[in-house]
Chain A
């Protein structure tokens, strides 16, 4: 006979204001198997947990129902309370009467209370069928995979490697460095981006625990936490990195010119190229889409000038495999394409550029030698209009969220403009100045006071050309009137969006992403670097817009998580896995086909006791099984059950209402 204990939580006023908690307790007491029911203000608090522990011992309870918040919130907390009292933690069931009742039926107390009662009844019914389960130990492969070699990936890789854990760093482009390597100086201290980044890049290349695989992409990830297997496609570089000295003769002689991605297309690179002088690894690759030899079989100049004979036109893509235990995703950001802002003439006027283009122009190693120029005629602009929130905070045309970094980098751009062109003036149209951060507000003040940047609070409604000037018409909200600025150059702080490949990558990794394409963290507040899939972590702008300090902090947090995961030789795994009752298994192997993890194999067992004839049955590898339950629903002979979600448990829930 089951002896169930029911514990109903007030959650302060969160539940008690909209659900009549004492009634729920009274209803619970009427259930046959409930031997004890009580309410408390905060069940998750220490006294609340103590009540559970005491009741387990006092009333010899066989299973526990906690009616409180979502099990996604506190299931672990209460399970721990059970095991502290010497009870198997999986004899707990949560009735979600907060997210599913009190918070969503705030205008219907009776309805909410009835529903809470039903949810408790269902949980009690389920808990009666609960079984004692034990965590599974699985071995762990102590190697981390870092996807993306920007500052986030670099920091995560270095921190993990410093703990003497091997790291494989995969970068899509020919060099690591990412967006940060494109920046000139960084706010709020104006230290040179390259100066602080390149030493880290070199550290990555020379670190004994880091395996750097540039110009490659992850194409497959199998397995589960601690035991992933990644397939990485190394794109053909057509250059033998082992013999190449990086002398650069090939790039100098190559006749093909292609817009230079590193400089946002402002100048050109060759078809065989290193992205920028400080690239790591400092070896060229051939861009197969543009190389005349690879396209038409003519040219071959790079092979002729290479003294080492490192050019190999026959090289093909190569797929390599790595066994890893954890993944850090750091794929970074892109800028939103502002074409929908037709009233600004984006795409029609050459002298409207985005912030990264401006960043490259003012950068000392940039295409214009550190002086901003007008793309239309090459003149140095005297009046530059910066427009913030282009695409950000704009539900109608762009994206609803705030891109977070634009306020600060636009202030920086105003200062840099002043440094490079002394007699220039910056006009900045803004909605709000969001300068929350250490030294940030001071930095914006500096831009306003030191450089005389004119901050105009209002939106720009139109940009049109008059002669060779761009007329920027907007609103000065503080004066409450329309203003027109005659600009030489317009810089749009377009929204920060995640890398376009994020949805595809998320599917490949089996993690989720939001409507913008940002990868989703497990919990927005309490688990900001983890994903819902164990062993996969997020760093940097792949999760949300972030500045460099935040990105570095999150990358280090990822490293701490990885090190924690790898601290022991085994890791604990939820026991919610499928099991086969061999006696019922007919050997149809439908379960083998539906298992997304190849966790089900077959084995031969004797037909009967002592029989010599054999029959085939399914066998589940509990280390690999992730507990989705596909096999359970497909099994015709009901031979498979999923621990924690068995047929009796769910049917009990269904009939209990």
Chain B
């Protein structure tokens, strides 16, 4: 999903923003009920550990995710957003994850154009059997966002200019 090489637009975000010492990133996770939410439950059942920064919202299908949700999350509370659905071909609702993927790509391009770093919004496929993978995904997203620093500082820098 990271089509970084194709990027013509350079992020204006400054990764060197210095985060306050007590800062902990907030990741908004929106998971589909049948695969990724079940997968995240399996992560719990198998006691696989991951950083506690993600806040999970359950939706029936990744296709329910309105770009508005992503924007709203970045606008208000979250430093990063993770959307996760069923693997291609495995959608409980036949084809919903394909819509989600297309919609997500467009949204991400838009956000990058505005100046967000691509790592702030990520997408993954996690099936109901991939508890360990979910933990890895969360860890990666959290690490990426930690590297980028707090979103509100970035906003301050850019909106006050």
Direct contact of A and B (CB under 8 A): yes
- Assembly CA distance A118 to B55 (angstroms): 8
- Residue A153 is within 8 A (CB to CB) of chain B in the complex: no
Within 8 A of A (CB), among B51-109: 51-53, 55-61, 63-69, 72-73, 76-78, 86, 89-90, 92-96, 99, 103
- Assembly CA distance A576 to B99 (angstroms): 20
Q: What 1/0 flags go to B31-43 for Cβ under 8 Å of A? A: 0011101101101
Q: Is B37 a contact of A72 with CB atoms below 8 Å?
A: yes
- Residue A434 is within 8 A (CB to CB) of chain B in the complex: no
Q: With A72-B37, A103-B47, A596-B96 as known contacts, state yes or no: A629 contacts B59, CB within 8 Å.
A: yes
Q: With A99-B41, A104-B50 as known contacts, state yes or no: A630 contacts B99, CB within 8 Å.
A: yes
Q: What 1/0 flags go to A567-579 for Cβ under 8 Å of B? A: 0000000001000
Stretch at the interface among B110-118, B127-135, B153-161: B127-135
- Assembly CA distance A510 to B34 (angstroms): 11
- Residue A96 is within 8 A (CB to CB) of chain B in the complex: yes
Among B52, B103, B129, the residue within 8 A (CB) of A514 is: B129
Stretch at the interface among A76-84, A337-345, A405-413, A646-654: A646-654
Residues of chain B at interface, number, CB under 8 A: 53
Among A104, A114, A122, the residue within 8 A (CB) of B57 is: A122
Q: Is B41 a contact of A72 with CB atoms below 8 Å?
A: yes
Q: What 1/0 flags go to B12-39 for Cβ under 8 Å of A? A: 0000000000001010100001110110
- Assembly CA distance A654 to B59 (angstroms): 12
Which residue in chain A gives the minimum CB-CB distance to B59?
A645
Q: With A70-B41, A654-B72 as known contacts, state yes or no: A101 contacts B59, CB within 8 Å.
A: no
- Assembly CA distance A104 to B38 (angstroms): 14
Q: Is A101 a contact of B52 with CB atoms below 8 Å?
A: yes
Stretch at the interface among A105-113, A416-424, A545-553, A605-613: A105-113
Q: Is B48 a contact of A628 with CB atoms below 8 Å?
A: no
- Residue B5 is within 8 A (CB to CB) of chain A in the complex: no
- Assembly CA distance A107 to B59 (angstroms): 29
Q: With A104-B47, A628-B60, A630-B93 as known contacts, state yes or no: A115 contacts B128, CB within 8 Å.
A: no
- Residue A533 is within 8 A (CB to CB) of chain B in the complex: yes
Q: What 1/0 flags go to B121-144 for Cβ under 8 Å of A? A: 000000111000001000000000
- How many whole Å from B128's CB to the nearest CB in chain A? 6
Q: Is B64 a contact of A645 with CB atoms below 8 Å?
A: yes
- How many whole Å from A286's CB to the nearest CB in chain B? 34
Residues of chain A at interface, number, CB under 8 A: 53
- Residue A588 is within 8 A (CB to CB) of chain B in the complex: no
- How many whole Å from B81's CB to the nearest CB in chain A? 9
Within 8 A of B (CB), among A622-657: 626-630, 632-634, 642, 645, 647, 650-651, 653-657
Give every chain A residue within 8 A of B127 (Cβ-Cβ).
512
- Assembly CA distance A106 to B63 (angstroms): 32
Q: Is A103 a contact of B93 with CB atoms below 8 Å?
A: no
Give every chain A residue within 8 A of B67 (Cβ-Cβ).
633
- Residue A507 is within 8 A (CB to CB) of chain B in the complex: yes
- How many whole Å from B34's CB to the nearest CB in chain A? 6
Among A104, A119, A576, A651, the residue within 8 A (CB) of B43 is: A104
Among B68, B92, B135, the residue within 8 A (CB) of A533 is: B92
- Residue A316 is within 8 A (CB to CB) of chain B in the complex: no
Give every chain B residue within 8 A of A512 (Cβ-Cβ).
34-35, 86, 90, 92, 127-128
- How many whole Å from B67's CB to the nearest CB in chain A? 8
Q: With A115-B52, A628-B96, A630-B99 as known contacts, state yes or no: A72 contacts B59, CB within 8 Å.
A: no
Assuming A99-B41, A650-B57, A653-B57, what are 18 further A-B pairs, CB within 8 angstroms? A70-B44, A72-B37, A99-B45, A100-B56, A103-B44, A104-B48, A108-B52, A111-B53, A510-B94, A512-B34, A532-B128, A627-B60, A628-B93, A629-B96, A630-B61, A630-B93, A655-B76, A656-B77
9 closest cross-chain pairs (CB), A and B:
A99-B44, A629-B64, A111-B52, A628-B93, A103-B44, A596-B94, A630-B63, A628-B61, A105-B52
A–B Cβ pairs within 8 angstroms, 11 of them: A70-B41, A96-B56, A103-B45, A104-B47, A104-B48, A104-B49, A512-B35, A628-B96, A630-B99, A642-B64, A657-B55
